[in-house]
Structure 1
Amino acid sequence: MGPKEVQKIGTAMATLERVTRGEIDQVLEEFLHLVEDQTSLGIGADDYVRSVLRSALGDDKAEGLIDRILLGRNSKGLEALKWLDPRAIAEMIRNEHPQIVAIVLSHLDPDQSAETLSYLPDRMQSDLILRIATLDGVQPAALQELDEILERQLSGKSTAKSSMIGGVKTAANILNFMDSSKESVVMESVQQVDEDLATRIQELMFVFASLVDVDDRGIQTLLREVSTESLILALKGAEEALRDKIFRNMSKRAAEMLRDDLESKGPVRISDVEAAQKEILAVARRLSESGEIVLGGKGGETLM
């Protein structure tokens, strides 16, 4: 199990209270029923997956997908990093070659990668985002070298051509989780080096204004997960179209109360508005990852 799954289970365990004997018996009965239905289809799954994908897509197109499914799964050293604190990861990799650091950051979850990046020197951050955005594949030898640095042995297949790590979307995802001030500095540096690449990254970044492209059901789901105070702060810097969409997806009474709160709210700092928007975006991404909402649209302009 991965770190996030363990955290979810731990949270669920911590909130359990007053579980009855009947509930326990019912859960155990359901578990036994599921176990009894299991078969041996998973045996030899790697070879089966390779065979099916190559038959369907051809050797060239299938190879990258096979790497992502099988090779990435077997990168024990990289996977072990996901259990570490971002500050510890930063200390571990800060003196490594920038390309190695870029591979590590690409492999981590975007929120963990963003926090790790924030602990690295400012002069490194824009260079690493550039390297991540231009990664289009990593040779198994490079992954082997990385796992040796981490004192782990790579168990991936030696026949793989490359592992699908990095790219513009990965860079955009990492920047989405960075503090707004640092994000701006990094993007300015990237733009100075490669304006076209900076534009492509910005187009893939999901910003607060992008919520206007989420469907009504998704907005309603999101609103149930965010606090009123955060919503008020975030909407202080939102365009009218997004405000209207939020109001339309609330009850009439709730919308009127929110409008009143917005009007009565005095001047607020831009940093507070951006922090609230980042908080809501983090919730939106979590709901998107769990399949509860679908995020659509491209990034908008940065708030000033």
Structure 2
Amino acid sequence: MTGPQKAATLMLALGEDRAGRLLARMHEDEVRDVSAAMAQLGTVSAETVEALCRDFAEQIGQAGSLIGSWETTERMLLRGLPRDRVTQIMEELRGPAGRTMWDKLGNVNEAVLANYLKNEYPQTVAVVLTKVRPDHAARVLALLPEGFAMEVVMRMLRMESPQAEALEGVERTLKAEFMSNLARSARRDSHELLAEIMNNLDRAAEGRIMAGLEERAADSASRIRSLMFTFEDLRRLDAAGIAVLLRAVEKDRLVIALKGASETLREQFFKAMSERAGRMLRDDIASLGPTRLRDVEEAQMAMVALAKELAQQGELRLAEGEAEEMVY
């Protein structure tokens, strides 16, 4: 058994009260390591418990077999730590599905991962993209700013096998910063989370799921719809906001996205452009020819993600809910 596994076994043998008081005196990293070992401990034989406890205290040498689980771990942590801290630790332990950090990253939404990675060093991003699945890496790369994405690609081309120390450093950073923040953000309102998920579904899947939800929970469906921000909701941007978005979006992506837009939304974009630029955009859309629905939806979702990012930076303002409910 590893050191954390031995400590976890002794904690369980000591009981929740004593173990809770001990955990309260430990450093945060120690609490996390022992908690992770405890949650995955499973059944420990009585013989093993006795051997471990013999050196610790003769009085508990007759302890029976123990079972470590998520529930017993959480109860023990609650004995010595505040509930919000325990909730954070347990969410960090469970995290996205996957055995390793790279498995977990492969199950993180590409838009969320790209939004985090765009602020990291290109070399760090290159390491991450070489460790996750190629299809997931491709989706993340497509959402990174164009110049930054090219720098990452060049680093990947020149990269040799990363040294173990470098990989461990990247893993520690991701665990300490990204995964812990992801766990905290996961505690937000479930309707908001589902609205974000629906925004990233294709139209057929979104329509199917929302129709089923309206039958079973009409109030929740209505609230989720009010929280969703779709491509067509860009019509609620004012002229200045559309101008900001036009300067930030890639031309090819804009053409594909507007190919599937309503005429009303197209006109709103055309009006925010000069007459010559608007005419050229019309020609580009007309000459595009038949376009796969999947490509159109991906381009539109990327533009929505970009608009939200610009809104977070204070570059533009997104109106939520129905347009007539907004006061400007």
TM-score by length of 2: 0.43
Higher-RCO chain (CA-CA 8 Å, sequence separation at least 6): 1
TM-score by length of 1: 0.46
